[in-house]
Amino acid sequence: MSEEAARKIAEANEVFERDVGAWDSDVEIRPGPDAPVIRMKGTYHNRRIAGGRWLVVEYRSDSGFEGHGVYGWDDVRGRYVGIWVDSTQSAIAQSEGTWDPSSRTMTYVTTADLPGRTLRYREVMEGREDGAVVYRNFMPGPDGREYEMIHIVSRRRS
């Protein structure tokens, strides 16, 4: 790999530096468009690996849910990419995303091959002025329109 390519990858992955560390989260899940909200607490432990090229995300909630992800810059695709696995499914969710530095927002389009269908949804992570990170997961509803299924506000553990 050329020095220029290595520099470009390193610069692209600097966006993940804000995510490194331990985080406490307030979680709201709405299983369906008209379903009542389920609230829980969670924790993230995020670290960078492989010389800072990849962000590893480890998440657990007080409900017993557990998930793990790996995110970084794919120089061939020219996009951010990620994978996610968790305790609710046996499929690997694959994401491609874009970063908007002006709003400090990462937006991913994510797909997971489930039995008999491919699920496609949108994930948005926004860094707020107060240092918190807001994660929003938008799923397709029964009518095909997306709704906000997951809303998480995470704050860095002191």
pLDDT of residue 2: 82
Strand, coil or helix: what is 33? coil
Whether the per-residue pLDDT at 140 is higher than 90: the answer is yes
> What mean pLDDT do residues 111-118 have?
93
The structure's pTM equals 0.92
> What mean pLDDT do residues 76-87 have?
95
pLDDT of residue 12: 86
Q: Kindly state which CATH superfamily the domain 3-156 is placed in.
A: Calycin beta-barrel core domain (2.40.128.20)
> What mean pLDDT do residues 78-92 have?
94
Residue 137's alpha-carbon distances to 48, 120, 134, in angstroms, are 23, 11, 10
The type of residue at 148 is E
Neighbour-count burial of 155, counting CB atoms closer than 10 A to its CB (0-12 exposed, 13-18 middle, 19+ buried): middle
d(CA 33, CA 50): 40
Sequence ranges of the domains in the chain = 3-156
pLDDT of residue 58: 98
